[in-house]
Chains A and B, each alone.
Chain A
Amino acid sequence: MERFDIAIIGTGPAGLSAAVTAKIRNKKVLLLGSRDLSQKLGKAHEIQNYLGFPAVAGAELAAAFRRHIDQMGIQITEKRINAVYAMGDYFALQSGDEMLEASAVILATGVVQGKPLPGEEELLGKGVSYCATCDAPLYRGKTAAVIGYGPREESEAAFLSEVCREVLYFPAYKEETNLPQGVRVIRERVTGIAEADGKRLVKTDENGYTVDGVFVLREAVAPGQLVPGLATEGSHVQVDRKMAASIPGVFACGDIVGTPYQYIKAAGEGNIAALSAVAYLDEMKRNQG
């Protein structure tokens, strides 16, 4: 399998800046994200402190970023990464059924909005799961609740309904649901998850539902979930001055490492993360021989 030097996840100012610097350093870069770049940036009305661009609209700055990476021949691969596994001397990046490989990883996914539900983290692995395709068969013939934060999570609920006796689906969004008949859609706001007599209780503002397993499926993945074993502080990744995270070979930059949430700070950190990743790769090479 093709192994990249550096995989960069995220196409906001941090990820793009990291990609530009890594490319200048002649590294084989895999830049993962959206060709529309950062949604947040595109929507920014006016940015006043991005050096060289006084009073620039977010969309205009994004267009300038795109020209910059196009000029340097940097491609964006539009793949959603579900998990990054530290395999020792390389990282395996899972995107659906596909695995990608890189020697170093830079996380620049932005900050995950939204707090976990009460009880969610405490019961994780004890009846609460984030991965329907992983854990569904453990609930064969049992009942499961799915709390879905976006329409694209519906396919996971549909998959569960093939295995489970009953699936309750709690959409945390307004759009119409499109689910098979076996899935019971409950339009109530989930307020928490608790343990009750060896089962799980999904509490809503109106009722309580007892099930065997609860699947919490969000569009954005928290960093500790994206990279299992990574040290985090709330929704942020712990990094040092060199933007190095707790697992050797993992670097992070931009909003994901903490405030202030500023575009120019993100771009600067992307530069540091890329240079640190380059230094890491050089050292790895030296150690190999």
Chain B
Amino acid sequence: MVKKIGADQFNEAKESEFALVDFSATWCGPCRMLAPVVEAVSEKLAGKVDVYNVDVDDAPELAGEYKVSSIPCLVLMKKGEFVDQSVGFRPEAQITAWIESNL
């Protein structure tokens, strides 16, 4: 399951052992296409990674902090530490492989 969070709940993602944060926006076409893919990834990797969604319009300061300059942008974090990022749409198999290689 993907949990939608705002800037004031971002601590939850920071405290997670392993988190995937999907920075996106409602007006961005590729973000809308990626959303169901991220949902599917979260189901498949349930228990291994906590998946969050942040709307950059609601949290521009977070987008700035994580150097998000193109969306959709997937950010992997371990206990709040930045691990890696992936920009743009990617098929499910590639995102799953990318997350697993960073486990």
Contact = CB atoms under 8 A, between A and B. Distances in A.
A289 B75 CA distance: 37
Contacts of A135: 28, 69-71
Contact of A94 (B29, B71, B73): B29
Contacts, number: 66
A88 B40 contact: yes
B29 A138 contact: no
B30 A228 contact: yes
Interface residues of B, number: 26
Nearest to B70: A125
A126 B68 CA distance: 7
Nearest to A228: B89
A103 B71 CA distance: 26
Contact of A129 (B27, B36, B69, B92): B69
Contact of B30 (A86, A134, A138): A134
Contacts of B33: 85, 87, 92, 94
A86 B88 CA distance: 13
A13 interface: no
A279 interface: no
Given A85-B89, A125-B87, A126-B69, A134 B94 contact: no
A86 B63 contact: no
B69 A134 contact: no
B17 to A, nearest CB: 26
A134 B90 contact: no
Given A87-B33, A87-B37, A129-B70, A138 B56 contact: yes
Interface string B80-91: 000000011111
A247 B90 CA distance: 10
Contacts of A247: 91
A133 B63 contact: no
Interface string B58-100: 0000010001111101000000000000011111101000000
Contacts of A126: 67, 69-70
Contacts of A94: 29, 33
Interface in A169-216: 213
A124 B90 CA distance: 15
28 contacts: A83-B89, A85-B89, A86-B92, A87-B33, A87-B36, A88-B40, A92-B33, A124-B70, A124-B87, A125-B70, A126-B70, A127-B69, A129-B69, A131-B70, A134-B28, A134-B30, A134-B70, A135-B28, A135-B69, A135-B71, A137-B56, A137-B57, A138-B63, A213-B69, A228-B89, A228-B90, A229-B89, A247-B91
Interface of A: 83, 85-88, 92, 94, 124-127, 129, 131, 133-135, 137-138, 213, 228-229, 247
Question: Which 4 residue pairs of A and B lie closest in terms of their CB atoms, listed nearest first?
Answer: A125-B87, A86-B91, A228-B89, A125-B70
Interface of B: 25, 27-31, 33, 36-37, 40, 56-57, 63, 67-71, 73, 87-92, 94
